[in-house]
Amino acid sequence: MGKRALERRLSTVVDFDDPQVELEQYPTPADLAAHLVHLADVHHDIAGKTVLDLGTGTGMLALGAATRGPERVVGLDRDSTAIEQARENERRVAPETSVEWIVGDATRPPLCQSKSDPESADSAPSMTVLMNPPFGAQKSNQHADRAFLEATADVADVSYSIHNEGSLDFVEAFAEDEGGDVTHAFRAALPLSPQFEFQREERKVIDAEVFRIEWR
Ligand SMILES: C[S@@+](CC[C@H](N)C(=O)[O-])C[C@H]1O[C@@H](n2cnc3c(N)ncnc32)[C@H](O)[C@@H]1O
């Protein structure tokens, strides 16, 4: 299945019913999700891997990955209502691999056995994290993007993450400190609904930045 076909399939995903502003609940658009999943697939980061979608929300990224032959896909969100929505979206998208949905806090480790745990280092399947984390723009959720990256650095071999515009320096410095290399970076349009107060200029679309990071 090509990128366009994946985008059409993901366009059946239903948006948050009642988005919670403090959790920065806005969906990843189907075209961006298809692009990110396709890129990960081309880099052999999905087929046969464990894929973890942190802050899965509607399930968009997990569901995209689940169409590309992963060994296992897990979608995690702290909001049980979002997870219910993601389950419903799984019925719509009907991916070839079923997704394990978990209600949990991505910023409270351990999410699973850490890479640095010698007992799991050899036996654990390779882990790819996909995420569109909260930008950490809300008072109740400040620096959430950093906390999501910290969790990612602990468990992932490779990650793909969507960040607020202007994040390149922060992400590169963070990756360097945590033993990661930013291998790809590109801009993408991210539509946001007006209820998010950090849209002070009332823009409906921001230039998000997407990064692929290899973690050691
Ligand atoms: C920008 S939305 C991304 C949604 C999702 N990727 C999608 O396309 O629908 C951020 C998501 O992170 C979730 N979230 C916020 N803080 C979280 C935390 N500490 N742990 C887990 N999920 C969290 C929110 O509930 C929301 O679903």
Per-residue pLDDT tens over the stretch 153-207: 999 999 999 999 899 999 999 999 999 999 999 999 888 766 555 555 555 788 8
Single-letter amino acid, residue 14: V
Place of tokens 């509607």: 58
Answer yes or no: is 190 within a domain. Answer: yes
Task: Please report the pLDDT score of residue 204 as a whole number.
Answer: 77
In short, whether 60's Cβ falls inside 6 Å of ligand 1 is yes
Q: What is the average per-residue pLDDT within 109-127?
A: 67
205-215 and 158-163 as β-strands: parallel, antiparallel, unpaired? Answer: antiparallel
The pTM assigned to this predicted structure is: 0.92
**CA of residue 24 to ligand 1 center, whole Å:** 7
Number of H helices, E strands in the chain: 7, 7
61 lines ligand 1 (CB under 6 A): yes
Q: Are 160 and 183 in contact (CB under 8 A)?
A: no
Nearest CA to ligand 1 atom 19: 105
Instruction: Tell me if 147 is assigned to some domain.
Output: yes
Q: Which residue puts its alpha carbon closest to atom 7 of ligand 1?
A: 27
* Domain that includes residue 128, residue range: 3-13+27-200+210-215
In this structure, the residue with its CA closest to atom 14 of ligand 1 is 55
For residue 90, give the nearest of 73, 111, 71 by alpha carbon. 73
Q: Check pocket membership of 67 for ligand 1, CB cut-off 6 A.
A: no
Backbone phi and psi for residue 154, each to the nearest 5 degrees, phi listed first: -75, -30
Pocket flag, ligand 1, residue 206 (CB < 6 Å) = no
What CATH code is carried by the domain that includes residue 85? Answer: 3.40.50.150
Domains in the chain: how many in total? Answer: 1
Cα 118 to averaged position of ligand 1 atoms, centre (Å)? 30
Residue 47 falls within a domain, yes or no?
A: yes
Structure confidence by residue, pLDDT tens digits, 53-75: 999 999 999 999 999 999 999 99
Residue nearest to atom 2 of ligand 1 (CA): 25
pLDDT band of residue 145 (cuts 50, 70, 90) is: very high
Considering the domain boundaries, does residue 122 fall inside one?
A: yes
Cα of 82 vs centre of ligand 1, distance in Å, is: 9
- Ligand 1 binding pocket includes 132 (Cβ within 6 Å): yes
Confirm whether 75 is domain-assigned: yes
18 within a domain of the structure (yes/no): no
